[in-house]
Amino acid sequence: MRRIIITMVALASLTTMHGQSKKATQMKVELNNKKTMTVFYKTIKIDGLEVFYREAGDTKKPTIVFLHGFPSSSHMYRDIMNDLAANYHVLAPDYPGFGYSSAPSLADYEYTFDKLSHTIDHFIDALQLKKISLYLQDYGGPVGFRIAARRPQLIQSLIIQNANAYKEGLGAAVQPLVSYFEHQNTETEKEARNILTTTKWQYTDGAEDLSKVSPDSYISDQYFLDRKGNDEVQLAFFRSYGSNVALYDSWHTYFRKYQPPVLVVWGKNDQIFIAPGAEAYKKDIKDVEVHLLNGGHFLLEEHHQEVALLIDSFLSKRIKN
Q: Hey, which residues does 42 pair with through a beta bridge?
A: 53
Give SS3 for 47: coil
Half-sphere exposure of 24 (CA within 13 A, CB side): 6
Can you give the pLDDT at residue 167? 96
The mean pLDDT value of the chain amounts to: 91
Question: With pLDDT > 70 as the criterion, what percentage of the chain qualifies?
Answer: 89
Can you give the pLDDT at residue 320? 79
pLDDT higher than 70, residue 18:
no
Rounded to an integer, the average pLDDT of 136-143 is 98
Can you give the pLDDT at residue 17? 32
pLDDT higher than 80, residue 103:
yes
Q: Name the E strands within the chain.
A: 3-15, 21-32, 40-46, 49-56, 63-67, 89-93, 132-137, 155-161, 262-267, 288-293
pLDDT band (50, 70, 90) for residue 181: very high
Can you give the pLDDT at residue 237? 98
Give SS3 for 44: strand
Angle between helices 186-194 and 230-240 (to 10 degrees): 110
pLDDT tens digit sequence for 190-212: 999 999 999 999 999 999 999 99
Can you give the pLDDT at residue 255? 98
Which pTM was predicted?
A: 0.90
pLDDT higher than 70, residue 10:
no
Burial label, 80 (beta-carbon count in 10 A; 0-12, 13-18, 19+): buried
Can you give the pLDDT at residue 37? 81
Rounded to an integer, the average pLDDT of 88-102 is 98
- Catalytic residue status for 68: no
Rounded to an integer, the average pLDDT of 239-243 is 97
Residue 184 amino acid letter? Q
CA 273, CA 2: separation in Å to the nearest integer?
A: 33
Q: DSSP letters along 252-311, please?
A: HHHHHHH---EEEEEETT-SSB-THHHHGGGGT-SSEEEEEES--TTTHHHHHHHHHHHH
pLDDT band (50, 70, 90) for residue 213: very high
Rounded to an integer, the average pLDDT of 56-77 is 98
Rounded to an integer, the average pLDDT of 273-289 is 98
pLDDT higher than 80, residue 169:
yes
Can you give the pLDDT at residue 35? 60
pLDDT higher than 80, residue 65:
yes
Residue 46: closest CA among 98, 116, 113, 111: 116
Dihedral in degrees, nearest 10, Cα atoms 176, 300, 27, 65: 100
Q: Are 67 and 136 in contact (CB under 8 A)?
A: yes
Top pLDDT among 55 and 29 is at 55
**Catalytic, out of 252, 297, 303, 304:** 297
